Amino acid sequence: MGGRKLMMGRGGLIGERDSAYTTVRLRIPAGIVYSSQLSAIQDAADRFGDGRIHLSTRQTLEIPHVRREKAQEVLDFLAQAGWYQQDLSGNIRNVVACPGTSSCPNALIDAQALALEIDSLLTECADVPGKVKVGVSGCANGCGHSLLCDLGVVGRAEIAFDPSLCRRCHRCVREACRTGALQVQGGSESVRLDPALCEGCGLCVPACHAGALAVNRVIWQVWVAGKLGRSPRFGLELARLASPAAVLDLAGALLALWKAKGQAGERLGDFVRRLGLGGIRHALGLPSSGRLAAQPLPRNREATMRLA
């Protein structure tokens, strides 16, 4: 067990049951792998492991059953092919993202590009108090598991409806809306949009051939304090922002606040729940509702003075 704890202390090396061996975990931000890298991972698994490669739930690759004394040799070998070691203080987990607008027809935001930017932000502040998991999803389907991360981002559409253009075909109600946000009204057969029930998936827009429904603007919804594990819980909505730049500013300010006020070993989600959404929003200069008017602190500003 002592050997397992020793190896667990390094984020890229995971101790195995047999303390003579370790699993080498690689960091793959947004799950993006290039074909030129694949031959190196195959060679490493064959030369240093037992030929197996494990795909983790957080879009990383692992080479199991590597002898401990060969671990650094494996990492050096893979670094030459552009692989990253999962070793950012042992606390920062791989940033997960769905394909986003790079290929998914449902996506509203470029999830992969934002995930890569957040990964760069995390590498700049690796000495965080505890564990942090980040997920980015291009739409309300949440394929990046954003609501189950310490910090999550979901792209959503703010829908505009012009009743004067509606032909009352009801395609949007029958074929697109799954939440009842679009409803047919009584004998008039007119359609009504209830924003309170709208999830912002945007699927109603292509279903409407009359142009009565449109995406007014795209919203970057920020979630915090979600987790899986032994005691899973959904995240809490922190803010709705108008651009990816605003998301990065908010993420940077939140990380700075956590580093300054977090307790040793306290993961980001637990820190948020300890202070409460109200306390976090106040410290970061967000309105109490977290709605779209939010203007988060720039990354280079002191984000902790309001809690002093």
292 plus 147 within the same structural domain: yes
Confidence grade of residue 13 (pLDDT, cut at 50, 70, 90): confident
Give the residue from 214, 248, 281 where a domain finishes: 214
Identify the sign of the CA torsion 54, 17, 227, 86.
Answer: negative
Within-domain flag for 116: yes
73 plus 170 within the same structural domain: no
Q: Are 223 and 134 in contact (CB under 8 A)?
A: no
Within-domain flag for 72: yes
Tell me which residue range forms the domain holding 24.
2-85
pLDDT at 298: 40
Indicate the range of 112-116, 120-124, 204-208, 282-286 predicted with least confidence: 120-124
- The CATH number of the domain holding residue 19 is 3.90.480.20
Asked whether the predicted pLDDT for residue 15 surpasses 50, the reply is yes
Within-domain flag for 91: no
Backbone angles phi, psi at 236, to 5 degrees: -115, 140
112 plus 240 within the same structural domain: yes
Distance between CA 182 and CA 177 in Å, rounded? 6
Number of separate domains in the chain: 3
Residue of higher predicted confidence among 7 and 285? 285
Taking the model in full, what pTM does it have? 0.87
Q: What's the burial of 4, exposed, middle or buried (CB within 10 Å: 0-12/13-18/19+)? A: middle
Q: Are 258 and 271 in contact (CB under 8 A)?
A: yes
pLDDT tens profile 58-75: 998 999 999 999 998 998
151 plus 260 within the same structural domain: yes
196 plus 236 within the same structural domain: no
Give the residue from 214, 236, 256 where a domain finishes: 214
Identify any residues that bridge with 280 across adjacent strands, giving them in sequence order.
Answer: none
pLDDT tens profile 214-245: 999 999 999 999 999 999 999 999 999 999 99
Distance between CA 195 and CA 192 in Å, rounded? 10
Q: Which of the 8 DSSP states describes residue 85?
A: E
Closest CA to 17 of 34, 5, 8, 4: 4
Q: Are 157 and 287 in contact (CB under 8 A)?
A: no
Confidence grade of residue 291 (pLDDT, cut at 50, 70, 90): low
Q: Are 99 and 234 in contact (CB under 8 A)?
A: no
pLDDT tens profile 135-180: 999 999 999 999 999 999 999 999 999 999 999 999 999 999 999 9
- The CATH number of the domain holding residue 182 is 3.30.70.20
pLDDT tens profile 147-158: 999 999 999 999
210 plus 222 within the same structural domain: no
Q: What is the mean pLDDT of the chain?
A: 87
